[in-house]
Amino acid sequence: MSRGGAERAQSGTPPYTSYRTFKTFIEDCREHGLPSRVDRSVLTRFSGVVGAQLMHALRFFGLIEEGGRPTERLRELVDAEETGRWRERLLGLLKERYAPLFAIDLESATPSHFHETFRKAFPAADAVVQKCVTFFLYAAADAGVQISGRVLKGRKPRSLTLRKKRPAALSPTRAAETPDGRSEGLAEGGKTPSEVLLMLLDPKGMDEEQQAAVWTLMKYFKARGL
């Protein structure tokens, strides 16, 4: 990819697909070999929307050229899985493509400093920016980047930071009253159904459509006061 092409990709919208989707594609290339070009015929495991978002991510990182042709850096990233250089290669991509973020001290950045820097460097609609940030946090964690705990609070991918626990058996919910007198379902231990749902689900194991379904259910819980 030319230097000008790389600069245009860097100034565009960052990946907003799930990081699991991106990593799955890399693993598929390692298992089945690098395709002559990346198109729908090699993205059959992804839906049309997710496949388009993945293509966008690959272009942003300079992993494919016009027409979907793989670049040498994609080959290097795929090979890095077997040579033990995955973190090194991934970190190199992140530092290049998210240069404005690495220009600040990510380990001590405040949430406002981090988000202001991100939005200034990669302006987009709020909903898109939130997905872009989520992808970056997953990728940064996988690359071993130290991010401020203040930035990660309430956002840090559970599967990348905490040891998985066996979910406890759920008992029937008990009723509680909210301050306005509405009944609210609480699971054993005082947890709401939405809290239990977040404990049981692993975002890393879900694709974009599954994540969207979960958030739709979460919105329903919130509307019902659950």
At 97-122, the pLDDT tens digits run: 999 999 999 999 999 999 999 999 99
pLDDT of residue 3: 41
Q: Which two tokens stand for residue 56?
A: 């966008």
Q: How many helices (H) and strands (E) does the chain have?
A: 12, 2
E strands, the chain, are 174-177, 183-186
In tens, the pLDDT along 190-212 reads 566 656 666 566 555 566 666 66
CA distances from 203 to 14, 51, 70 (A): 20, 18, 28
The answer to whether residues 143 and 106 touch, using CB atoms and an 8 Å cutoff, is: no
The Cα 5–Cα 159 span in angstroms is: 34
Give me 112's structure tokens: 């406002």
Q: What is the pTM of this model?
A: 0.66
Average pLDDT score over the chain = 80
Give the tens place of pLDDT for each residue, 46-84.
999 999 999 999 999 999 998 999 999 999 999 998 889
Please state the domain extents for the chain.
3-153, 174-223
The pLDDT tens digits for 133-160 are 999 999 999 999 999 999 998 665 544 4
SS3 162: coil
**Residue 169 pLDDT exceeds 70:** no
What percent of the chain has a predicted confidence (pLDDT) above 70?
Answer: 63
